[in-house]
């Protein structure tokens, strides 16, 4: 039996939460390995809807959840999220949730820097969530981050705050924003320490033991390949690597442990925030997709931009992330449309490309090339087998497989957990 890594194959918001929840019923451990509380996974379980940002989705299914060292953790946000799901009846304790002791922390000054810099960009905003994710990753690579284990050493926290404030207060003052006082931050962190340290451990040891015991591990990605800081539509990306290879480094396991790579893609495309979107629809069809798909960001609350499925983009994600199978979600949103389009490439200054170039100017000028397909009149909603699908819907899925060069492993036809067609079990490898 293989382990499975679940990642987004577009710009995020593809329905990873439902797929992870669906797979978690047969896993022993679910691991978040990158990102922060800028992620948003929605799980619909019976009459309960859980909106998770930091917590691994497997907790909803009673599985051990692990937050890996590749995640930047806002302790205040974490405790608030735990309180929120506990109010819904889901108990989260150090027995059900473990956090890598070497995970970097997001401090209030990170969010302040994030918001101040985004405001200073004016109409050239990147579209960040303003939650301090990027500045926290900057401090990690600059070797000045406060990590979870540091909270057990007040003298370490005090020394690191000196360096952090020297850097960040200078930036904040230059941007005309209020600066931070060391004592207030120190007192805040010391008050948080006894509440979050019980969750801390060297999770790499636990994961190594699980691997040796044959326990199934599900690696849960956040955001998506096209928001990867290296491979995405830079600079309109997140601040971490979102590709499947990050699961190993972000959890503390060898690359062979990652297992089957499952990419999640909507049957159309959406994006939150700024950045290129060649297949975007700003007409009535785009509005219809947004309405039917309830396209609002879980974290940001912003309406998502909607457009046709971009097979060239997903094919690129498949190649750079080693995706072995696709989980295609929200097929039912396309029900009843007379005509469908699939992006197959881009015209940039008259030249045809089968990939999205790295240069931001070229990305902004990219005009989608389409293949047109007939839609279907029947309903796909709630389908649980290929026989339940209209023939034209099957043709649409098969064409996506051909154009992306990736087989559709799972097909989701509603937000409900069991409305899923499994073509191939990812855990079988």
Query: Which residues are part of the catalytic machinery?
Result: 13, 41
DSSP 122: G
CA-based torsion, 330, 357, 248, 75: positive or negative: negative
Q: What is the 3-state secondary structure (H, E, C) of 304-336?
A: CEEECEEHHHHHHHHHHHCCCEEEEECHHHHCC
Question: From CA 244, how far away is CA 33, in angstroms rounded?
Answer: 10
Question: From CA 244, how far away is CA 34, in angstroms rounded?
Answer: 10
271 membership: H or E segment, kind and range: strand 269-271
Question: From CA 383, how far away is CA 334, in angstroms rounded?
Answer: 14
Please answer whether residues 421 and 385 qualify as being in contact, where contact means their C-beta atoms are separated by less than 8 angstroms.
yes
CA-based torsion, 17, 19, 20, 25: positive or negative: positive
Phi and psi angles of residue 309, each rounded to the nearest 5 degrees, phi first: -60, 130
């Amino acid at each position: 039996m293989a382990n499975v890594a679940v990642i987004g194959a577009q710009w995020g918001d593809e329905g990873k939460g439902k797929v992870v929840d669906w797979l978690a019923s047969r896993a022993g451990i679910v691991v978040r390995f990158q990102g922060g509380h800028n992620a948003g996974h929605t799980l619909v379980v019976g009459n309960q809807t859980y909106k998770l940002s930091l917590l691994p989705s497997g907790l909803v299914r009673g599985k051990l959840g692990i937050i890996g060292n590749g995640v930047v953790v806002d302790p205040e946000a974490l405790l608030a999220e735990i309180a929120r799901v506990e109010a819904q009846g889901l108990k989260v304790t150090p027995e059900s949730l473990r956090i890598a002791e070497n995970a970097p922390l997001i401090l209030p000054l990170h969010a302040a820097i994030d918001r101040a810099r985004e405001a200073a960009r004016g109409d050239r905003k990147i579209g960040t969530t303003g939650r301090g994710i990027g500045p926290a990753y900057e401090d990690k690579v600059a070797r000045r981050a406060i990590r979870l284990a540091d909270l057990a050493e007040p003298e370490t926290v005090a020394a690191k705050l000196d360096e952090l404030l020297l850097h960040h207060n200078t930036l904040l003052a230059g941007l005309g924003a209020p600066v931070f006082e060391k004592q207030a931050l120190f007192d805040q962190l010391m008050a948080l320490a006894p509440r979050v340290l019980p969750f801390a451990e060297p999770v790499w040891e636990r994961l190594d033991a699980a691997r040796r015991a044959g326990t199934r591990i599900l690696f849960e990605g956040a955001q998506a390949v096209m928001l990867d800081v290296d491979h995405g539509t830079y600079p309109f990306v997140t601040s971490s690597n979102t590709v499947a290879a990050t699961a190993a480094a972000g959890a503390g396991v060898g690359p062979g442990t990652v297992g089957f790579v499952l990419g999640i893609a909507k049957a159309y495309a959406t994006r939150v925030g700024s950045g290129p979107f060649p297949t975007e629809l700003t007409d009535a069809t785009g509005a219809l997709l947004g309405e039917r798909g309830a396209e609002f960001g879980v974290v940001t609350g912003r309406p998502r931009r909607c457009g046709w499925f971009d097979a060239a983009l997903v094919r690129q994600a498949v190649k750079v992330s080693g995706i072995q199978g696709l989980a295609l979600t929200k097929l039912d949103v396309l029900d009843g449309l007379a005509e469908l389009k699939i992006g197959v490439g881009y015209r940039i200054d008259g030249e045809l490309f089968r990939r999205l170039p790295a240069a931001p100017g070229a990305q902004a000028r990219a005009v989608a090339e389409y293949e047109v397909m007939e839609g279907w009149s029947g309903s796909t909603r709630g389908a649980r087998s290929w026989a339940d699908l209209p023939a034209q819907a099957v043709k649409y899925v098969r064409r996506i497989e051909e154009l992306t060069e990736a087989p559709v492993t799972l097909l989701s036809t509603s937000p409900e957990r069991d409305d899923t067609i499994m073509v191939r079990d990812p855990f079988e490898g």
